[in-house]
Amino acid sequence: MKHSISVEDIKLYAHHGCLEEEEKIGGHYSVDVFIETDFTEAAEQDALIKTVDYVLVNQIVKEEMAIRSKLIESVGQRIMNRLKNAFESSEFKVVIKKLNPPINGDVALVSISIDSRH
């Protein structure tokens, strides 16, 4: 059986981007993680060890977002790799949104999405 878990709108401040100003000043980001898993045993046994720990998901996102990259695509792939290692029997979708990007226009956000779900 497949179930869904989501940890959404993880708000972070980070220094990603190709521009020198982005490295120095940084910007606001929001990250969503969508998980497909089977938490039947967790629900029946009321046992955290049998499901995806939201605290660890949040920790992984925060740690990877703290490592500077030019591309949020790179950050997204690192987050995906860590999640897959931490929770081997689950599938993930990671969305990173860069809020108010400095792209010379009135743009609310840009985003990337990486999806390993079937």
Catalytic position from the list 50, 93, 97, 98: 98
- Residue 98 known to be catalytic: yes
CATH of domain 3-115: 3.30.1130.10
Nearest-Å Rg of the Cα atoms of the chain is 16
The predicted pLDDT at position 54 comes to 95
Could you tell me the residue ranges of all domains in the chain? 3-115
The predicted pLDDT at position 102 comes to 85
pLDDT of 62 strictly over 90:
yes
pLDDT of 105 strictly over 80:
yes
The predicted pLDDT at position 1 comes to 79
pLDDT of 39 strictly over 90:
yes
